[in-house]
Chains A and B, each alone.
Chain A
Amino acid sequence: DTAVSQTPKYLVTQMGNDKSIKCEQNLGHDTMYWYKQDSKKFLKIMFSYNNKELIINETVPNRFSPKSPDKAHLNLHINSLELGDSAVYFCASSQELEVRKETQYFGPGTRLLVL
C-alpha cells in the first residue's frame, strides 16, 4: 500500500488555467506538507497543515491555496497558473507538526508543466 499518494503524476496545462493536485496519506499522520522542487532541484516548503494550524511560507503567492477536506487529505489548488509554476510538487506527511526525529514521508511528486 502506498503511504503518501498524489494525483496526477504529470500535469501539463496552459498559462492562466486553474488546477488542483490531490494528496492522500494512509499513515494516520496529523500533519501534511506541500513542497516545490524547481529545475535546480531546490526543495522548498510551501505549506504545513494539521487540524489546528496552517503555516504558510510567506514567499508563496496567494494563487496557491491548500485545502484539507479531512486529516488524510491535503490538496493544492493553484489559480492563474504562470510559467514559473512549472516544477515538481511533493506532498509529505509526519506524525506531528514538530518533525524532530520523526521522519517526513514524501509522495511520488506531481510534475507540473505550464505552457
Chain B
Amino acid sequence: GQNIDQPTEMTATEGAIVQINCTYQTSGFNGLFWYQQHAGEAPTFLSYNVLDGLEEKGRFSSFLSRSKGYSYLLLKELQMKDSASYLCAVASGGSYIPTFGRGTSLIVHP
C-alpha cells in the first residue's frame, strides 16, 4: 500500500505563491496525481506526473522526485477562488487507480 503525507492546512495571501508538498512511500510507482476540491464539490483533476521534473500548466505547476518520494504543487498569482482542498494521490503496485492522501486545505486571504 501507500503512505501519503501532506500538510493539513495552509494559508496564503492573494497574489502570492504557495507550494503544497506531498511525500509518499510506495512500491511499484505508477504515477502521482493532484486534484482540487472546493468545499461541497467533487474533486477535479489538476496534474499527473510519472517522470521526474516539473510540469507547468498555467498558474499551476507540479513537481516530482521519484527517488525522494516527493512531489509539490505550486500555485502562482493566488486568487481567492484557489481556496480549496488539494489532494495528492499515488498509483502504485499492480494498480493504476490512485490512492488519495488526506488533502491540504488552502485558505487564500486578501
Contact = CB atoms under 8 A, between A and B. Distances in A.
Contacts, number: 53
Interface of A: 33, 40-45, 48, 55, 90, 97-101, 103-109
A48 B43 contact: no
Contacts of B99: 45
A98 B92 CA distance: 11
B7 interface: no
Pick from B30, B31, B91, B100 the residue with the most CB of A within 10 Å. B100
Given A106-B44, A107-B42, A40 B102 contact: yes
A108 B42 contact: yes
Contacts of B105: 41
Contacts of B44: 106
B96 to A, nearest CB: 4
